[in-house]
Amino acid sequence: MTAKGYVNPRLLGAILWLINVFTLSAQTYSLEDCQRMAKENYPAIKRQNLIEQSRTYTLANVNKMWLPQVSVAAQASYQSDRTTLPFDPEQVMKLTGGASIDPVSKDQYKVTAQVNQLIYDGGQIRARRQTESARSEVSQKELETTLYAIRERVNELYFGSLLQADLLKQNQLRQALLQANYKRMKAHLANGTASKSDVQLLEVECLKAEQHEISIKASKEAFLTMLSHLTGEEMSATKTVLTEPDVLKWANSSMVTRPELPLFEAQRALLDKQYKQLNTGLVPQVGFFLTGGYGRPGLNALNNSFDAFYVAGVHLSWDLSKFYTIKNNRRLIKTQHQFVQNQRETFLFNIETQLEKQNRVIEEIRALLKHDERIISLRTSIRKAGEAKLENGVYTTTDLVNDINQEDQARQTASTQKTQYLMAIYEKAFIQGTIK
């Protein structure tokens, strides 16, 4: 405070800001914190474990195809006729030394158990296992692209809240200037060197500045409320401080590493595995089988008593019908390959277009920023000169209010353009995928 009771508005504004930040025990978050929390809070993140579990179960089932395949069957039947020998019973007794052969019963019973063991499958199980792994990888990459999109929404809310915080600081500085001049004008009114309307004009401006503060705080609270919903963390204007991100480290990056690119690669890898699986389907399968059972009759059809039996051997199966569709299936996979490649090229083309546009935005804001400090400095000098002129009676209160408002507008413009610059660089990094 000077001898005339004048308070340095810059110092007062800094004091008010420090009080707001450090006396409220606020929780501090960075942009990276919010991005991480939003990802962890997003419901789709649960699919990550589900995809991995599904992959594990599917591969375990495929591997079990090498295990012996066991089946059990039971059958009871009654038939209208039965097998008989084309001989006279007396002739049969003479041929068998007096023994008779009982006819087979019309009611028959059988219980069997069969074991099939695959010996050679031409690589079908291995190809199917590789295909399922590739399909799981595609699902994971699709999820990563979904989760990556959350960053853009967090980005908008985070920088929107930062901008409101900057505007609030500028508003507090404006209020400090208006209050200081309001008190000085009241003193002049008491001394008879100012009119009541001059005091009232400054009071009106003080009230308008307070109204603007309420509006800014409401906007900031709205941004933080939406950010809370995304991150799952409770945030408010009085308990949360968001730090300014160091985005300049991404300003000169040119590499595109978006999660969509690994997704395209995973899709092409899946198609390659499916192509190989088609070829293995043309190969015959060889296996061993063993069938054991108990019933009436057994393997001896002339024995009408219950008996145990078994049959063992090697079987070969070859599905020749797959040769009918193999060419079209191969062409279909090649067409899908071309489709994925076209998607990748289209995606990169759109990315390049967006980057060109974003680079122009960054350059435009950077050019504007070069003049902000000078404009603020000039507006501050004009306002101080106006205060001195008002003291000497050669300046009106309306002129001074206009100078204060012009200085405030210059500061608000600078704050807005600074935040827009940081946001533009971050948006470029988001488009490129360089933020990990």
Query: Which structural domain range is residue 64 located in?
Result: 9-70+122-285+324-432
Q: Is residue 419 part of a domain?
A: yes
Query: What is the structure's pLDDT at 62?
Result: 85
Q: Which of 35-44, 133-142, 292-301 has the highest mean pLDDT?
A: 133-142
**Is a pLDDT exceeding 90 seen at residue 212?**
yes
Q: Is residue 408 part of a domain?
A: yes
**Is a pLDDT exceeding 80 seen at residue 89?**
no
Two structure tokens written together for 272: 């390659």
User: The CATH number of the domain where 370 resides is what?
Assistant: 1.20.1600.10
Q: Is residue 101 part of a domain?
A: no
pLDDT class of 81 with cuts at 50, 70, 90: confident
Ranges 107-111, 188-192, 362-366, 401-405: which has the least confidence: 188-192
Closest CA to 205 of 184, 174, 166, 165: 174
| Neighbour-count burial of 71, counting CB atoms closer than 10 A to its CB (0-12 exposed, 13-18 middle, 19+ buried) | exposed
Query: What is the structure's pLDDT at 22?
Result: 47
3-state helix, strand, coil in the chain (%, to 5): 65, 10, 20
Report whether 291 contacts 114 (CB < 8 A).
Answer: yes
Q: Give the pLDDT confidence of 148-199 residue by residue, as tens digits.
A: 988 889 999 999 999 999 999 999 999 999 999 899 888 888 888 788 998 9
Query: What is the structure's pLDDT at 23?
Result: 44
**Is a pLDDT exceeding 90 seen at residue 86?**
no
Count of domains for the chain: 1
The neighbour count for residue 192, using CB atoms within 10 Å, is 7
pLDDT class of 391 with cuts at 50, 70, 90: confident
Q: Give the pLDDT confidence of 8-29 residue by residue, as tens digits.
A: 555 555 555 555 544 446 789 9
Q: Is residue 129 part of a domain?
A: yes
Q: Is residue 169 part of a domain?
A: yes
More confident residue, 81 or 146: 146
Q: Is residue 34 part of a domain?
A: yes
Q: Is residue 114 part of a domain?
A: no
Q: Is residue 176 part of a domain?
A: yes
Question: What is this structure's pTM?
Answer: 0.76
**Is a pLDDT exceeding 90 seen at residue 260?**
yes
Mean pLDDT across the stretch 328-342? 95
**Is a pLDDT exceeding 90 seen at residue 140?**
yes
**Is a pLDDT exceeding 70 seen at residue 264?**
yes
Among all chains, which residue has been given the structure tokens 């395949």? 69
- Contacts for 6 with CB less than 8 Å, ≥ 6 apart: 180, 184
Can you tell me the distance from the alpha carbon of 381 to that of 418, in angstroms, rounded to the nearest whole number? 22
SS3 30: coil
pLDDT class of 275 with cuts at 50, 70, 90: very high
